[in-house]
Amino acid sequence: MSKISPAGKVKSKKEKVKSMSNRFRFAFLLLTFALLTGCGVRADMQDQPRYKAYKQSDFFSDHKGSRDPVEGTVARGQLHDNKAFYTGKIDNPNLNAPVATAVDAKGNTVIASFPNDIDEFPVPVTKELIDRGQERFNIYCIVCHGPVGNGDGMIVRRGFPAPPTYHDDRLRNAPVGHFFDVISNGWGKMNAYAYQVQPADRWAIAAYIRALQVSQNPEEHLKMNSKTESNTAPPKKDETKNVSTNGGKR
């Protein structure tokens, strides 16, 4: 029995069966090819020989699968050859330098001398730098240190230990490198802010702290000088991250 197609042609039963057989054969070959090539790639990618981090290896003499960086390797962008800018310390610190201590009004023993901290800003001190420092100070510092640095921030009023005022003789005479060091590494109950605040912004905050000290002691001369030969770029506007609200002893 034959069947008339929409085009008007007559197809026999044998031709119809042959056409279906050809389609099935093509589909089967296509599926077989996909399975063979797909499984082969997955096996190579998933089962390739490799070492897991910190696993033992018999291939290397030290039996460690993870390899250490070559001695002297520095990550891109992490050279930090300007020690004053990135640490607030002098180039050749005296590790045996004596550190004087004092007792504050609350009976706390505090450091009164800072022999290895730089006393000049490694960046030009400009209005733009101080304005940037005020912006960063109001984000990260004001909650503990208060609007003018008296140590009476909002969380101190709510029971957190008060940091010392910036306006006592000890901190008015402290070198600027001390403030950078405290922001970078923390001090007393204050956590380090190196992750939240970039080095250029730490210097901006230090400059603003000096401006606050001058504002509360206008008759006193404070060091605001900087090394004009510095080629460090001025701080850029950047996105801020969530901040810690821990105060501290400086």
| 156 close to 213: Cβ distance less than 8 angstroms | no
User: Residue 107: is its pLDDT beyond 90?
Assistant: no
- CATH-assigned architecture of domain 88-216: Orthogonal Bundle (1.10)
Average pLDDT, the chain: 81
Digit-coded pLDDT (tens) for 32-41? 877 766 655 5
What distances in angstroms separate CA 112 from CA 119, 134, 170, 245, one per listed residue?
15, 26, 6, 26
3-30 tens-digit pLDDT: 555 555 555 777 776 777 777 787 888 8
Band (42; pLDDT cuts 50, 70, 90): low
Contacts of 40 (CB under 8 A, 6+ apart): none
What are the domain boundaries of the chain? Answer: 88-216
Strand 10-11 relative to strand 101-103: parallel, antiparallel, unpaired?
Answer: unpaired
134-147: average pLDDT: 97
Q: What does pTM read for this prediction? A: 0.64
How many percent of the chain have pLDDT more than 70?
A: 78
**Which range (48-62, 123-137, 147-161) has the least confidence?**
48-62
The pLDDT of residue 51 is 80
Q: What is the pLDDT of residue 156?
A: 94
**pLDDT higher than threshold 70 for residue 147:** yes
